[in-house]
Amino acid sequence: MSACIQCGSEVENAAITGVVCLKCSNTMTGIDKPEPKIDPLVLSALVVGGVAFAIKFEINGRNYIALSLGPIMVILGIVALARIKSAPQDLRNMRLGTTIGAILLGVYHVIRGLG
C-alpha cells in the first residue's frame, strides 16, 4: 500500500509511490484539455463548404446555395483569423493555413454562385 500524494490516505493495490487516490483524482484541477488542431469555427466553415458543394440550386445560371453559403464561410474564416493570436504557439501555423483555405473556399463559392 502507498499513501496518496494529495490527501495522504492509503491507496490500495498501489505498487509504486507517488500515486493519487480515486477521490483526489476526480477533484484535481490544472489539467489542461488538449487543444484542437483546427479551430472549431474553421471546421464549421468547411462543413458549410461541403454542403455548398453537395447541393445545387440554380436559377438563370446562378447557384443560390453557393451564393448564400460562401459569405457565411468567409465570415466564419475572418472570425477564426482574429482568434489565431489566442491559439497555442505550436498550432498557429496550422490554424492559419486552414483558416485561409476556408476563406478562399468561401470566395470560390461566391464566384461559382455568380456563374
Q: Where are the domains of the chain?
A: 1-31, 40-114
Residues 6+ apart with CB under 8 A from 32: none
Q: What is the CA radius of gyration of the chain?
A: 24
The x, y and z cell numbers of residue 71, run together, are 459569405
Predicted local distance difference test score (pLDDT) of residue 12: 67
Mean per-residue pLDDT pooled into runs of 10, the chain (115 residues): 67 61 62 77 93 90 92 95 89 93 95 90
Residues 6+ apart with CB under 8 A from 10: 1, 2, 3, 4
Predicted local distance difference test score (pLDDT) of residue 6: 62
Predicted local distance difference test score (pLDDT) of residue 1: 59
Residue with cell 484539455: 33
